[in-house]
Amino acid sequence: MRILVISDIHANYTALEAVLNAAGSVDETWCLGDMVGYGPDPNAVVEAIRELPSLVCLLGNHDVAALGRMPFETFNGDARRSLLWTEKVLNADNLDFLRSIPSSSKVRGQATLAHGSPRDPLWEYVLNTLSARLNFDHFDTPWCFVGHSHIQCSFRLDETTDRVWLETPRVDLPLNLTSRMLLNPGSVGQPRDRDPRAAFAIYDSEAQTWTPRRVPYNVPEVQARIREAKLPEKHALRLAEGW
């Protein structure tokens, strides 16, 4: 099956629309969480996700907070301001949809799905080989797909030497999933790897390949909506440079 893997949309509908158009026809979509937070379009994003056929979806930490299940004090000041606004504008149908989604990890075929990490699905960032190695002990499938860090990358475990290798994938170049791996599709709505283009991945479960993808979108349009909503200026500025 050809599966679209997305994460960290963060209420950026313009970026999500660009990703869905670029991905084309897929058999399933796997969303690894954080549909809301930071951005100006929480209702449009959740509604678009709700309408996707053959959807598998997890909650991220921002989604959980918007549901009132996590103290806003656990977030930094700018993120907290955005969540307070998001909580006020999310409509009842979209809140009901978010309430129906699990925040725990989920297994789909040969892949484990988690927002943060299999060890701590909501909060842990897998940013280096040490955190990746610790997490390989917390899933039994060959591969694990995570989001949360907003960085498109992959970690490969050499089971012979018990060493983990960080790999920065080349866009549009399929990776052969030949060993145990932990992979991040990057962020749709707020990349933080110095590439402002929306990030996603295509997972082919039959060919056992993972193809990182990027697509440009209209950043100034989203920045204008952030400012119109009076959300933190930082959330507008960072979109242009991917930080």
| Residue 180 and residue 161 in contact, taking contact as beta carbons nearer than 8 Å | no
How does pLDDT run across 191-229, given as a tens digit for each residue?
999 999 999 999 999 999 999 999 999 999 999 999 999
Q: CATH number for the domain including 88?
A: 3.60.21.10
Going by the DSSP 8-state scheme, the letter that residue 146 receives in this structure is -
Which residues does 113 contact at the CB level (< 8 Å), separation at least 6?
Answer: 30, 32, 56, 58, 105, 106, 107, 144, 145, 146
Q: Which domain holds residue 83?
A: 2-240
Domain count within the chain? 1
Q: pLDDT at residue 24 above 90?
A: yes
* Model confidence band, residue 168 (pLDDT cutoffs 50, 70, 90): confident
How does pLDDT run across 122-142, given as a tens digit for each residue?
999 999 999 999 999 999 999
